[in-house]
């Protein structure tokens, strides 16, 4: 049985407070008020402006993709793992893969712009790092649980 463990609860709570809620807020802001200074401050750094139309369109497209695909996967997966459901671990692993995938893309496309505006501590924790760390942890944990490894 895939009963939730302490690790499950830690990953769910971390995911809700440090991944889901901040991304939900930022992406709702970006999707519905894309040209506001608040959206730009959240997405690309305080006082920054879009580099070009492609930069803006990419950020706007990612906001909609997060709202339609990634965040529902994360929410449904979290609910499923707390209900001890196999499908929950599958969806959770999927959301972790998306988190790592987009973090790799953003590492190459955004780091030179975002990193200087926030500094190393913020960047390698809540701006970028938490998404990588959480994604890797959730994928690993889900695969181990699905392989029937007990914790």
The verdict on pTM exceeding 0.85 is: yes
Inside any domain, residue 88: yes
| Rounded Cα distance, 69 and 73, in Å | 6
* Structural domain for 98, as ranges: 6-26+61-146
Inside any domain, residue 35: no
What's the number of domains the chain is made of?
1
- Count of C-beta atoms within a 10 Å radius of residue 7: 13
Range 115-131 average pLDDT: 87
Inside any domain, residue 36: no
Inside any domain, residue 110: yes
Inside any domain, residue 45: no
Assign 151 to helix, strand or coil: coil
Inside any domain, residue 68: yes
Inside any domain, residue 52: no
| Rounded Cα distance, 23 and 82, in Å | 21
Q: pLDDT tens digits for 3-54?
A: 999 999 999 999 999 999 999 999 999 999 999 999 988 888 777 888 899 9
Q: pLDDT tens digits for 59-78?
A: 999 999 999 999 999 999 99
């Amino acid at each position: 049985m895939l009963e939730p463990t302490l690790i499950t609860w830690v990953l769910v709570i971390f995911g809700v407070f440090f991944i889901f809620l901040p991304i939900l807020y930022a992406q709702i802001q970006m999707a519905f008020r894309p040209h506001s200074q608040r959206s730009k401050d959240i997405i690309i750094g305080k006082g920054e402006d879009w580099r070009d139309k492609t930069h803006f369109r990419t950020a706007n497209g990612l906001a909609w993709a997060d709202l339609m695909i990634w965040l529902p996967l994360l929410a449904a997966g979290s609910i499923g793992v707390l209900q001890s459901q196999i499908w929950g671990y599958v969806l959770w692993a999927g959301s972790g893969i998306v988190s790592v995938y987009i973090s790799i893309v953003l590492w190459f496309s955004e780091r030179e712009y975002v990193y200087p505006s926030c500094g190393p501590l913020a960047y390698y924790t809540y701006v970028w790092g938490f998404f990588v760390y959480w994604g890797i942890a959730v994928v690993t944990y889900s695969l181990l649980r699905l392989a029937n490894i007990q914790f």
